Amino acid sequence: MAQAVVAVNGEQVQVEGRAATMIVYLATQASRVNVPQKGSVTFHFADAEITPNIVAIDTPLSVNGQVR
């Protein structure tokens, strides 16, 4: 079974199973998750599979001085 130890502000939590796999995935994708101004991360899971989806929304474009 997957396991991960998460430390935040000096507190540690042990996480197991799919949740541990999701956390490890997010940690390895931190550069994609932390950069965009807007976005979403979704995990779809069933049985022993997890399918991650990261959508990064870019900043608005300005056309003739108006944001579109």
DSSP string, 11-62: EEEEEEHHHHHHHHHHHHTHHHHHSSSEEEEEEEEETTEEEEEEEEEPPPPE
Question: In the chain, which stretches have pLDDT less than 70?
Answer: 36, 66-68
Q: What is the pTM of this model?
A: 0.76
Amino acid identity of residue 34, one-letter, is N
Q: Tell me, what's the pLDDT at 37? A: 79
Q: Which two tokens stand for residue 60?
A: 């608005």
- Note the pLDDT tens digit of each residue in 21-36: 999 999 999 988 888 6
